[in-house]
Structure 1
Amino acid sequence: MSRFRALLQASLNATKRALVWNAEDLVPPSEKYIFNFNSKEELKRWHLYSDSEYGGLSSASLEIKESGNGSSGTGLFSGNLSLDVSERSRWNITRSGFCGMRSKKIYTENWVNSPGQQEDNSWQAFVFVPKDNWYIAKIPLARYLPTWRGNVIDAKLEMNPSRVVGMSLSANAEGGIPDARSGPGDFLVEIDWIKALRMQ
């Protein structure tokens, strides 16, 4: 295809996109599903990690639990938190007892992030979830704290929502919210969906 013809085709495609615009391009919806744990396809969007990558002995799994009543399934994030470290570890880690599930890059067009930007910071919010009950946790961006390697950075930084490119959930044997149950052992978190809410 000639250079002129390619330029003409690109111009026509841009014109078509401009004529068939979507209202969400101007004003994003007030809420949007980012992750919906209703099928095994959802598992492909996540990567599991644990201290075992550095010589720890914790383990994690993520699976979809099919419901028996015809409704969609839910995600089961489970595993075992161990404070022990393998004697043959080539890493000199000082803290073990963590597992997590990290999303692959998410691109939500103009809703949350700007595709192509690199992630610079890691932000963390603590969530307390009551045992054996479904709970909808709403976490405002202001509750997220900047972190480096799991430690909170003591600095006044503001999260830029346009640079959010992924998220993760983690379970830790130590630290967290005061009065929350913690320590080594088995854990299980059932997840139905994760949404983004526009509050303004």
Structure 2
Amino acid sequence: MSRIRALWNASINATKRALTWNLEELMPPQEMCVFSFSSKEDLKRWHLYSDSEYGGLSSASLEVKDAENGLNGIFSGNLSSEVSDGSRWRMNRSGFCGMRSKKFDGFIDLDPYDTLAFKLKGDGRCYISTIYTENWINAPGQLEDNTWQAFVVLPRGNWYIAKIPLASYLPTWRGNIVDARLEMNPSRVVGMSLSVNAEGGVPGTKSGPGDFKLEIDWIKALRSG
């Protein structure tokens, strides 16, 4: 009888271990690297944009350079509030630059995570983090992705890990907050961007026309639970 009980207990313990292993395999990791900026290949996943596409005079670059902790990406340039002579565009606002990831091959699923983390070295300016999700809010016929934005405020001149809860991202439409109760679908992320404006942002941060420089090591998704 004791032998049967021993075999039974061994079977139960083996089943429990198998279930535990399966759960561990199914459980997403505590963090997931979404983007790194340690090689020129990494930078090929991004493209730049600025008001120069609409007659403005701002400019931006994205490159990899040696830093204290190895190779890092550097997003830099100059913000101008001027508009080129003879521009055919009627701009409401100039003085902006950004770097946007190219379209993913499918989607990135951030549903298991609750926070985006950025390892950055700033210049005192306020930057904007944007998450683009599959279009399901806009009216039919509008092909633009849904955009969700949050400010990134950094201490000047030091490496810093900025953590932004996904719940802090607000829905926006062409830079303006959408006055509606909307929720992001984090399982259908199609891209991300980092941008900077000459004006606006968080009070107390550097603003106005002039040079900007943001060093970037990585962007990760974190799961606190």
Structure 1-normalised TM-score? 0.80
Letter in structure 1 aligned against 2:149: Q
Provide the rounded CA distance (Å) in 2 between the counterparts of 1:109 and 1:165.
Answer: 5
1:163 aligns with 2:161: no
* Map of 2:126 onto structure 1: none
| Post-superposition offset of 1:111 | 3.8
* Map of 1:29 onto structure 2: 29
Letter in structure 2 aligned against 1:78: S
* Map of 1:118 onto structure 2: 134
Provide the rounded CA distance (Å) in 1 between the counterparts of 2:75 and 2:214.
Answer: 5
Q: Is the 8 A contact 1:124 1:146 kept in 2?
A: yes
Provide the rounded CA distance (Å) in 2 between the counterparts of 1:196 and 1:107.
Answer: 18
* Map of 1:75 onto structure 2: 73
| Cα gap change, 1:118 to 1:66, in 2 (>3 Å) | same
Question: How many equivalent pairs are there?
Answer: 174
- 1:183 corresponds to which of 183, 196, 208: 208
| Cα gap change, 1:110 to 1:150, in 2 (>3 Å) | closer
Structure whose alpha-carbon radius of gyration is higher: 2
Provide the rounded CA distance (Å) in 2 between the counterparts of 1:110 and 1:127.
Answer: 21
1:59 aligns with 2:75: no
SS in structure 2 of the partner of residue 91 of structure 1: coil
Letter in structure 2 aligned against 1:39: S
TM-align CA RMSD: 2.2
Query: Which structure has the highest strand share of the two?
Result: 2
Q: Is the 8 A contact 2:98 2:194 kept in 1?
A: yes
SS in structure 2 of the partner of residue 162 of structure 1: helix
SS in structure 2 of the partner of residue 192 of structure 1: strand
| Post-superposition offset of 1:198 | 2.0
Structure 2-normalised TM-score? 0.71
Show structure 1 runs of 5+ residues with no match. Answer: 1-21
* Map of 2:86 onto structure 1: 88
Q: Is the 8 A contact 1:39 1:72 kept in 2?
A: no
* Map of 2:47 onto structure 1: 47
| Post-superposition offset of 1:105 | 2.2
Provide the rounded CA distance (Å) in 1 between the counterparts of 2:108 and 2:216.
Answer: 26
